[in-house]
Amino acid sequence: MTRNDILEGLVAELIDVAPDLDPAALGENDHLQDDLGLDSMDFLNLISRLHKRFGLPIPESDYPRLATLAKAVAYLEKEQAG
Protein backbone atom coordinates (compact mmCIF):
# COMPACT_ATOMS: atom_id res chain seq x y z
CA MET A 1 0.00 0.00 0.00
CA THR A 2 1.51 3.33 -1.07
CA ARG A 3 1.45 6.53 0.98
CA ASN A 4 -1.18 7.83 -1.41
CA ASP A 5 -3.42 4.77 -0.86
CA ILE A 6 -3.15 5.30 2.88
CA LEU A 7 -3.98 9.01 2.59
CA GLU A 8 -6.99 8.22 0.39
CA GLY A 9 -8.25 5.62 2.84
CA LEU A 10 -7.75 7.99 5.76
CA VAL A 11 -9.60 10.84 4.04
CA ALA A 12 -12.47 8.51 3.05
CA GLU A 13 -12.94 7.44 6.69
CA LEU A 14 -12.59 11.03 7.90
CA ILE A 15 -15.31 12.23 5.54
CA ASP A 16 -17.58 9.40 6.70
CA VAL A 17 -17.13 10.55 10.30
CA ALA A 18 -17.45 14.28 9.46
CA PRO A 19 -19.47 14.51 6.22
CA ASP A 20 -19.48 18.32 6.29
CA LEU A 21 -15.72 18.44 5.60
CA ASP A 22 -14.70 19.21 2.02
CA PRO A 23 -11.99 16.73 0.96
CA ALA A 24 -10.56 19.30 -1.48
CA ALA A 25 -10.12 21.82 1.32
CA LEU A 26 -8.19 19.52 3.68
CA GLY A 27 -4.56 20.35 4.42
CA GLU A 28 -2.17 17.61 5.52
CA ASN A 29 -1.12 19.65 8.53
CA ASP A 30 -4.68 20.32 9.68
CA HIS A 31 -5.11 19.23 13.29
CA LEU A 32 -8.04 16.80 13.40
CA GLN A 33 -9.47 18.22 16.61
CA ASP A 34 -8.27 21.84 16.72
CA ASP A 35 -8.62 22.67 13.00
CA LEU A 36 -11.21 20.21 11.67
CA GLY A 37 -13.35 20.30 14.79
CA LEU A 38 -13.53 16.58 15.56
CA ASP A 39 -14.70 16.05 19.13
CA SER A 40 -13.61 13.11 21.29
CA MET A 41 -16.48 10.94 19.98
CA ASP A 42 -15.70 11.78 16.32
CA PHE A 43 -12.02 11.03 16.91
CA LEU A 44 -12.82 7.67 18.52
CA ASN A 45 -15.14 6.82 15.61
CA LEU A 46 -12.33 7.65 13.18
CA ILE A 47 -9.87 5.47 15.14
CA SER A 48 -12.43 2.60 15.08
CA ARG A 49 -12.71 2.89 11.30
CA LEU A 50 -8.95 3.06 10.82
CA HIS A 51 -8.59 0.02 13.06
CA LYS A 52 -10.95 -1.93 10.79
CA ARG A 53 -9.61 -0.61 7.48
CA PHE A 54 -5.93 -1.04 8.22
CA GLY A 55 -6.10 -3.93 10.70
CA LEU A 56 -4.04 -2.11 13.35
CA PRO A 57 -4.71 -2.05 17.10
CA ILE A 58 -4.06 1.75 17.51
CA PRO A 59 -3.83 1.90 21.33
CA GLU A 60 -4.86 5.12 23.09
CA SER A 61 -1.23 5.88 23.90
CA ASP A 62 -0.63 6.28 20.14
CA TYR A 63 -3.40 8.89 19.66
CA PRO A 64 -0.98 11.87 19.68
CA ARG A 65 0.73 10.27 16.67
CA LEU A 66 -2.53 10.68 14.71
CA ALA A 67 -3.13 14.33 15.57
CA THR A 68 -2.89 15.62 11.98
CA LEU A 69 -3.49 13.98 8.60
CA ALA A 70 0.24 14.01 7.82
CA LYS A 71 1.10 12.47 11.20
CA ALA A 72 -1.63 9.87 10.84
CA VAL A 73 -0.44 8.84 7.37
CA ALA A 74 3.13 8.48 8.65
CA TYR A 75 1.87 6.46 11.61
CA LEU A 76 -0.31 4.13 9.51
CA GLU A 77 2.49 3.65 6.98
CA LYS A 78 5.01 2.77 9.67
CA GLU A 79 2.70 0.47 11.64
CA GLN A 80 1.59 -1.39 8.52
CA ALA A 81 5.19 -1.94 7.45
CA GLY A 82 6.17 -3.02 10.96
Residues that bind other proteins (CB under 8 A): 18-20, 33-34, 37, 39-41, 44-45, 47-48, 50-51, 57-61
Pick 4 or 15: Cβ nearer other proteins:
15
Within 10 A of 36 (CB to CB), how many other CB atoms are there?
20
- Cβ 11 to other proteins, closest distance in Å? 16
Pick 6 or 36: Cβ nearer other proteins:
36
- Cβ 56 to other proteins, closest distance in Å? 10
Pick 4 or 20: Cβ nearer other proteins:
20
According to DSSP, the residues that pair with 13 across neighbouring strands are none
Distance CA 16, CA 13 (A): 5
3-state secondary structure of 31: strand
Centroid of chain to Cα 36:
12
